[in-house]
Structure 1
Amino acid sequence: MAAASPAVLPETGARQASAAMIWSALAVVYVVWGSTYLGIRVVVDAQIPPMLGMASRFLTAAVVLAAILSLKSGWRRLRITRREALGAAVVGVLLLAFGNGGVAIAEQTVPSGLAALLVAAIPLWVMLLRVGGGERPRWLTWLGVLIGFAGVAVLAVSGGDTSAKPLSVGILVVGTISWATGSRFSPRLGLPRDPLVAALYEMAFGGTAMILLGVIRGEPGRLDLGAIDGSGWIALGYLIVFGSLLAYSAYSYLLANAPISLISTYAYVNPAVAVLLGWLILSEHITAKILIGGAVIIVGVALVVSAERRPRATAGR
């Protein structure tokens, strides 16, 4: 998934970092994560089982990243505590195994553009989790949440206008809730302070969980390496190098160094990239309902993020 988004967490914990580095990382997340929906669709269309395919994506990226960090800084850089390992495991399972894995399973029938538009609702789920934790959002935030979920409802209905099956749409929604949950609570889990090391272990744990889930789903029996065409291998390679190694590492860097309201803006850009590429390369059918539902979600997310970026008025001011 990209995917993905702790999009409306409070503006805390941002570190001093180069503006050029932050915007470069954000540009990577904007474009590359938007394109991963297309890559995932090509992978599953090439008869690569979704969980095993995504497991190979993240595990390979983790091994490569571990080698790069070790050659650059030595193996000691990879040492983490038991608490950090547990935190990375929880985030990896929620974001990658359930979140990204859910997207991959759903995209067997859900067009990549429609999947990206549904994933754009993640900031709305994060807001509901915050409310469950006792926070009191502004009225504008609530308005954005209501508008956003109205867009989700439109997209869920519009699935009948495409090849999307209701079960696949449901799996995708559950995946977005899982991603939102992991993103919401990740700052409290004691992750490794080095964002690249955190990304490495999240991918390692998440990929391992995907293998287990793939075995439970019976995917090894459906894996036929000889039947996979060249496009499937190319798409999987793209997901490994760009979607995981580059973009997920960039996302981890942003979480450690940039305001969350800035990071959250990728929720506006990814769906547009995904819909455009799906239509351009895979000739995916774009209906009026999909465009309307997607636009409504983006408006809702924009209201939520803009409301949360405004400082609250203090007493006596």
Structure 2
Amino acid sequence: MPKSNNKILIVAAFFSIYVIWGSTYLLNKIAVTELPPFMLASIRFTVASILIFIIAKISGISLAITKKQFINCSIIGFLFLTFGNGGVVWALKYVDSGFTALEISAQPLVILLMMYFLEGKKIQPMSMIGVLFGIIGIYLLVSQKELISQEGMALGMFTIFLCMLSWAFGSLYVAKADFPKNYFINTGYQMLTGGVMLFVASLLFGEKWSSPTKWTQPVQISMGLLIIFGSIIAFTAFNFLLRVVSPEKVATSTYVNPIIALFMGWYLLNEQVTEQSIIAAIILLTGVYFINTKKKLTLYSRFKK
């Protein structure tokens, strides 16, 4: 593929995970008010995978993958979708969509620390500043008594944190494991396996399923947007980026996601946005900037010389 075309794809992919994923918090929040969380996520990803395979078949793209690739897709399907996304959707029953996106904005910090502890990658001085900002921002976010005193809020925040760990580990795993070369097919198998495991989880939790014809119109629209844009388009873009750029760069989507989610949640769902949350957002996103910047500390550079 020509470099110019590849650059265009990378820009388009980043737009997808920045903007589209920023709106999925709102869409999931709307849907989970009416639908059980694991049922919601299972339908979303299973239907999306079927549509992906139909499109691939019509386009003449082979669906064949090796046993090892299928196992890897299943592992990522669990880390990203079954646990990673399913847990977040469940938490949205108790946590506002904007707050959820804001907490997840700390994911670059989690990835950086995981790369340090699991892969021995050194943390650069600028990134150390980012880590400090990230810890302060998270503390300010989760220490708001008026929010954490709400029923289920603390458990929801802890669940989101566990989901961040799952996504972070999955991001590192994707960069090294063997997957189908076609990103579209790769996405399809991850969603199929993740959707099936979410179906099993839904049965284990005794969720009551309902027909789409009985859903309200806002839920039907939200599910359609989640399947087409949030799943097929954005998740394919996410898989593509994980193979062509570093995991911490992909995680910079958390710069934009919380801003979009906070605004949409406040404007469309009248969600509460406290002053402390805004301060926490500024500090967190500043930390994310320092983690991902390539600039060097002037004093440190001079000392090294």
Shared fold (TM-score, shorter chain, > 0.5)? yes
Give the residue type in structure 2 aligned to 1:151. Answer: G
Give the residue type in structure 1 aligned to 2:72. Answer: G
Moved more, 188-197 or 154-163: 154-163
Give the residue type in structure 2 aligned to 1:296. Answer: I
1:179 matches 2:164: no
Compared CA separation, residues 288 and 248, structure 1 to 2 (3 A): same
Alignment deviations for residues 15-69 of structure 1 (CA, whole Å, 9 cap, x no partner): 9553222212221221110000000000011x20001101100110000011101
Contact 1:124/1:301, CA 8 A, preserved across alignment: yes
| Aligned equivalents of 1:30, 1:59: Cα separation in 2 | 23
1:283 matches 2:239: no
Compared CA separation, residues 202 and 160, structure 1 to 2 (3 A): farther
Give the residue type in structure 2 aligned to 1:228. Answer: W
Q: Which residue in 1 is equivalent to 2:219?
A: 232
Task: Write out aligned runs for 1:63-78 (5 A).
Answer: 63-74=50-61, 77-78=62-63
Post-superposition shift, 1:309? 9.5
Describe the SS at the equivalent of 1:39.
helix
Q: Which residue in 2 is equivalent to 1:108?
A: 93
Describe the SS at the equivalent of 1:193.
coil
1:152 matches 2:141: no
| Aligned equivalents of 1:176, 1:262: Cα separation in 2 | 16
Post-superposition shift, 1:152? 1.4
| Aligned equivalents of 1:41, 1:309: Cα separation in 2 | 40
Give the residue type in structure 1 aligned to 2:127. Answer: T
Describe the SS at the equivalent of 2:15.
helix
Contact 2:140/2:277, CA 8 A, preserved across alignment: yes
Contact 1:28/1:250, CA 8 A, preserved across alignment: yes
Post-superposition shift, 1:240? 0.5
Q: How many residues align?
A: 295
Contact 2:95/2:156, CA 8 A, preserved across alignment: yes
Post-superposition shift, 1:151? 1.1
Q: Which residue in 1 is equivalent to 2:190?
A: 202
| Aligned equivalents of 1:155, 1:25: Cα separation in 2 | 29
Q: TM-score, normalised by structure 2?
A: 0.90
Q: TM-score, normalised by structure 1?
A: 0.86
Give the residue type in structure 2 aligned to 1:94. Answer: L
2:19 aligned residue (10, 31, 36): 31
Give the residue type in structure 2 aligned to 1:245. Answer: I
Compared CA separation, residues 307 and 146, structure 1 to 2 (3 A): farther
| Aligned equivalents of 1:52, 1:159: Cα separation in 2 | 32
Give the residue type in structure 2 aligned to 1:53. Answer: L
Q: Which residue in 2 is equivalent to 1:9?
A: none
Alignment deviations for residues 108-154 of structure 1 (CA, whole Å, 9 cap, x no partner): 01000000011111111111111112222112212211211221122
| Aligned equivalents of 1:299, 1:279: Cα separation in 2 | 22
2:256 aligned residue (265, 269, 272): 269
Post-superposition shift, 1:276? 0.7
Post-superposition shift, 1:159? 6.8
Give the residue type in structure 2 aligned to 1:266. Answer: S
Describe the SS at the equivalent of 1:232.
helix
Q: Which residue in 2 is equivalent to 1:132?
A: 117
Describe the SS at the equivalent of 1:264.
helix
Q: Which residue in 2 is equivalent to 1:4?
A: none
Unaligned runs of 5+ in 2: none
Post-superposition shift, 1:182? 0.6
